[in-house]
Amino acid sequence: MIVELLAQYVMNGLMLGMMYALVAVGFTLFFGVLDVIQFSHGDVLTVGAFTALAAFVGLHTLGLGSRWLDLVVIVLAATLAMALLGMVIARYFIMPLRAAPALNTLLITLMLGTVLREAVRLFYPEGANPKPFPALLPRDAVALGAFNLRLDNVLMLAAGAGVIVGLQFVLSRTRLGLAIRAVAQDEETARTMGINFTAIVLITFAIGSAMAAFAGVMNGLYYNEINFGIGLYLGVVGFSAAIIGGLGSVYGAILGGFLFAGLQTVGAVLLPFASAYKDVFAFAVVIAIMAWRPTGLIREKISERV
C-alpha cells in the first residue's frame, strides 16, 4: 500500500518535472542568446495547448482522425505554430528593444503574456472555462505489484526525454548548436565569425517556444483538461526552475525543473493537509536556494579574462 502510493507520487513527480524542465529550458535558452527574460513564455505554452485542442476539434469536425493521426497532428500544429509565434515575439517585440533598458523588455513581455492569455480567454469558444482535452494515449496499465504503471505516462515521459536529449544533441553536436552557444557567450565575436546573429536568435526562440508547446500538449494529455491559466503557473514554475538551476545553463534548467517537482512531491507527502501547501513549500525552498546560491546550482566554471 505504502509502496504503491510512493510509486504513484514518484511517477507524478517525474511527469511534472518533465513539463517544468521543458519550460525552463526555453527561459534559459532565450536568456543565453539575448540576455532577456521572456515573461510571456508561459502564455505561449497556453496558446500552444489551445492550438492543439483546436487542431483536434478541427480534425473531428472534418470527420477525420484516429488516435495516432490525432496525436501527430496536434503535436505538429502546436509546436510549429508556437515556433512561429516565438519568432514573431523575438523579432518584433524583443529585438527592437535591445538598445532600451532591460526593464522595458521585462514590461513588454509581461504585457504580451497578458494579451495572449486574455485572447485565449476571450476569443477561444468558451475560453474562460476549463476545456476537456482528449485522452489520446493508450491507457493500458502494467501491474507492478500493487502499482499500476500506466502506458500513457510512460510514453509521455519517453517523449519528453527524447525532446530534451534531442536538444542536447543539437546544442552539443551540430553547427547550429555551435552557433547558439557562441552567440550566448559573446554576441559580437560570434557575428565576427560569420554567424548570422538575427537568424540564430529567431531559431533559438522557435526551438524554445516549440518545447513550451510540447509541454502544453503534455499538460493537456496528462490532466485531460486545459484552461487559459495553465501557462501562467507553468511559466512561474519554469522560470523559478531556470533560476535555481543557473540561468543560461541547459543542464541547470533541467535539473531545476525536476528539483522543483521533487520538492512539490516531498511537500505533498510529508506536510500535513497533504497537497494544499506543496507549492508554498516548494517556493519557500526555492527562496532558500536563491539565498544560498544566488547564481544558481550550476556554477559558472570560468571567469572571463580580458
**Residues interacting with another protein, by CB under 8 A?**
175, 178-179, 181-182, 185-186, 188-197, 301-306
Instruction: Give me the least distance between CB of 85 and another protein, in Å please.
Output: 25
Contacting residues for 228 by C-beta, under 8 A, at least 6 apart: 46, 50, 117, 118, 120, 121, 124, 127, 128
> CB-wise, 190 or 217, nearer to another protein?
190
The answer to whether 37 and 31 have CB atoms below 8 angstroms apart is yes
C-alpha cell recorded at residue 117:
492569455
Instruction: Give me the least distance between CB of 95 and another protein, in Å please.
Output: 14
Amino acid at 212: A
> CB-wise, 121 or 191, nearer to another protein?
191
> CB-wise, 150 or 181, nearer to another protein?
181
Which alpha helices (H) appear in 224-247, and where do they start and end?
Answer: 230-245
Instruction: Give me the least distance between CB of 97 and another protein, in Å please.
Output: 19
Instruction: Give me the least distance between CB of 238 and another protein, in Å please.
Output: 23
Q: Of 79, 34, 36, 72, which Cα lies nearest the Cα of 56?
A: 72
Length of the chain counted residue by residue: 306
State the Rg of the chain over Cα.
20
- Burial class (CB within 10 angstroms; exposed 0-12, middle 13-18, buried 19+) of 3: exposed
> CB-wise, 2 or 302, nearer to another protein?
302
> CB-wise, 62 or 302, nearer to another protein?
302
Instruction: Give me the least distance between CB of 15 and another protein, in Å please.
Output: 32
> CB-wise, 180 or 244, nearer to another protein?
180
Instruction: Give me the least distance between CB of 199 and another protein, in Å please.
Output: 8
The answer to whether 53 and 230 have CB atoms below 8 angstroms apart is no
State how far the alpha carbon of 269 is from the alpha carbons of 191, 275, 276, in Å: 51, 8, 11
> CB-wise, 126 or 304, nearer to another protein?
304
Instruction: Give me the least distance between CB of 295 and another protein, in Å please.
Output: 15
The answer to whether 9 and 224 have CB atoms below 8 angstroms apart is no
Q: Of 5, 45, 9, which Cα lies nearest the Cα of 208?
A: 45
